[in-house]
Structure 1
């Protein structure tokens, strides 16, 4: 394995495979914080050149975290199709990139090859792609999943209705929920981030969600994004739960910081299938985000893009209905400005889909980042063009509980109209039945939540 190159009249030598991986990554403040980033643009280009000539088998033989030390590595490696891997292991990362992007390569072929790719291989090829490459590559990949309805597919842009409230007041949540529905949002999931992570509070909110879903016959999924153990206890006490949520990391140590393990997620998955209210077979909901492993000192000296890819390798074992990267939520320590957030959003979306996941993105930023509403909207347009499965729908785009900026109800409909994409089919029919949407556009009756209070 060659770990050096001569470029611009200068010799560049890299210490290891993952030194190459770190320095080939597009600039991220998190990698600088970890002390592993390229120090110059020339060094980054040199690392990309070296990376492009490394064979895929090197990543199989050298996982980012050793197999014996890390559960996430074992899940990724044990889930690999070795027959497919044997057919492609001599490819270089550059050759994989060319194959993925060429016109002749279609979704059915990508579905086949991804079963022979580890998360590290997917991270490596992502580092060689431009933003437009990531959009084009992701657009080719069609991923569908089914809980109560089917997410994904060509020309579909769904949205999670996120009616967060500062005190988890059921009536306050209900008003935000009705407003979101009146703007055509909520087909991916109606999902609340709770302030109170107790079983009783979660049961109370789930019961209100279920009551509304049943009363108005809304074709969607419901979820309260408490810790997975809280949700499991709520289900055991009879709470109606379509999807079970959990934030996940790309290393065992990172997952332990979240208070979870693979065994725990497997137990939740099986509980959702046997006692949840979702039709299935996809009953899990995961969230990720570049930098989470570094924030808990669980990155093992590996760059944040590679650790993010490993999140997706972990997630796919549990056949989730939706996965999303909360791309700008952790803060400028990990993604400094709008340029880095844009790059990370496109990277994460591409990597998730190449893993075979029904991928969404929380296009967002925190108020202490160098980003604004225009940056957020530009990324949302790019991701819609890339075939992103879903975004968030937050009242006015301003989450008053989590204190960050995301996509609002109006943004979702504007993206649908501008780029000619639609809600999930069953939900679109429900909107038309309630005269909220007609001929692909909102009607004059849209935006009036009082219709659900009469």
Structure 2
């Protein structure tokens, strides 16, 4: 189907819904790299005006299908016609107006989550300004639980990310304790391993388990190795809390990650079978990021933000504890500067929440991007206002293993103090019991705390 509109006497035509979505996307370098972006701001405006008049029903059927693609099939299988019926008569613009209606609450948003396809979520985000994305996401509440309760309204959780260039056990423990003494880690203590072997994965889990158990912390931990490595470790009875995997919006892109839905199904069953979590706990952790499919040449002619939203279909299949977009991690080829990173972070968070996911964001950038920590400050505050479930924090905002810039433990403390966003209630009680965050309580140094731990043998 061709979509057409006129602006100032100029006729614009878009050959398909896929083309229209790409042309309507706010400016980003990745879409230019793929040859999909609007040729001018005027064409972008025309596409956005045209997109606003597209009926949501146009997104159903085969207009956005990728032949033989497992993610496309998953999206079709997930679609709930009954939930869609609540908004089926609307256009994309009508959906925007409905979402922004003050009378529409978190309950109504949850009732349409499975009726929306990822492409619908992406489409409506393209015609929303930043404050719209924040306002709607702030209404949504997606709560998940393992040992802590994440996503409650008015709270902000954090991932404590104690990465180390050689996966040294004491180095990981030192960084983790630094974060804990700053009140970081109620979402998860999660390590990106430098080596992806079953042996290393198991040892990292054992180190994190020792910290959790000996300090009696109401949180969970995760070694962010490949899902097949996690399966190997679980077969050896490693203390695995969460299974992690990076996912993308097409099967070809997931092939690049070496992952299939069958693998994820197996891992989900395996981690539940360990019996380490309460009944009904959420046990998976996924990361995504705009540009992942394009970088693998697996985007099938779709713009990178629409492909990002499609990745959320994979994530929500498993009712995960955590999902986060690593928004600026891939580099300026995909998100050129701070403005594009800020916009993408708000889009990803909005789309994830709208689709019913417990959405977090790694507020980050690479050192060759045209961005700096002030851009991250702006995005952090905007996301906190939008009710983001969690953010990632590292010592000094500088990840010494992955070599990128994220948020620091102090940044999370700033949000807690300035905007009044306490951590998960269980973790907040643990902090209070140990005097963490209490100005007149003298806490041990990180080195002293490390000396009291009994870590597994290297």
TM-score by length of 1: 0.97
CA contact (8 A) 2:17 2:64 kept: no
State the shift of 1:10 in Å.
1.2
- Alignment partners' CA distance in 2, 1:203 and 1:110: 40
Partner in structure 2 of residue 340 of structure 1:
340
Matched, 1:292 2:267: no
Partner in structure 2 of residue 400 of structure 1:
400
State the shift of 1:83 in Å.
1.9
Matches within 5 A, 1:55-454: 55-66=55-66, 68-275=67-274, 277-279=276-278, 280-438=280-438, 445=442, 448-452=445-449, 453-454=451-452
Instruction: Pick closer, same or farther for the CA change 1:232–1:356 going to 2, 3 Å.
Output: same
- Alignment partners' CA distance in 1, 2:169 and 2:447: 16
State the shift of 1:84 in Å.
2.4
- Matched residue count: 450
State the shift of 1:417 in Å.
0.7
Gaps of 5+ in 1: none
Partner in structure 1 of residue 53 of structure 2:
53
CA contact (8 A) 1:225 1:246 kept: yes
- Alignment partners' CA distance in 1, 2:217 and 2:326: 26
CA contact (8 A) 1:176 1:395 kept: yes
Q: Secondary structure at the match of 2:207?
A: helix
What RMSD in Å do the two structures reach over aligned CA positions?
Answer: 1.3
Instruction: Pick closer, same or farther for the CA change 1:276–1:223 going to 2, 3 Å.
Output: farther
State the shift of 1:64 in Å.
2.6
Matched, 1:11 2:8: no
State the shift of 1:80 in Å.
1.4
Q: Secondary structure at the match of 1:277?
A: coil
CA contact (8 A) 1:436 1:443 kept: no
- Alignment partners' CA distance in 1, 2:216 and 2:59: 49
State the shift of 1:448 in Å.
3.1
- Alignment partners' CA distance in 2, 1:221 and 1:409: 18
State the shift of 1:62 in Å.
3.3
Partner in structure 2 of residue 43 of structure 1:
43
Partner in structure 1 of residue 456 of structure 2:
none
Residues 165-202 of structure 1 deviation map (CA, whole Å, 9 limit, x = unaligned)? 01000011111111111100011000000001000011
Gaps of 5+ in 2: 453-458
CA contact (8 A) 2:17 2:63 kept: no
Residues 363-388 of structure 1 deviation map (CA, whole Å, 9 limit, x = unaligned)? 00000000001111111000001000
Instruction: Pick closer, same or farther for the CA change 1:291–1:281 going to 2, 3 Å.
Output: same
Residues 212-254 of structure 1 deviation map (CA, whole Å, 9 limit, x = unaligned)? 1111101100110000110111011011011000000000101
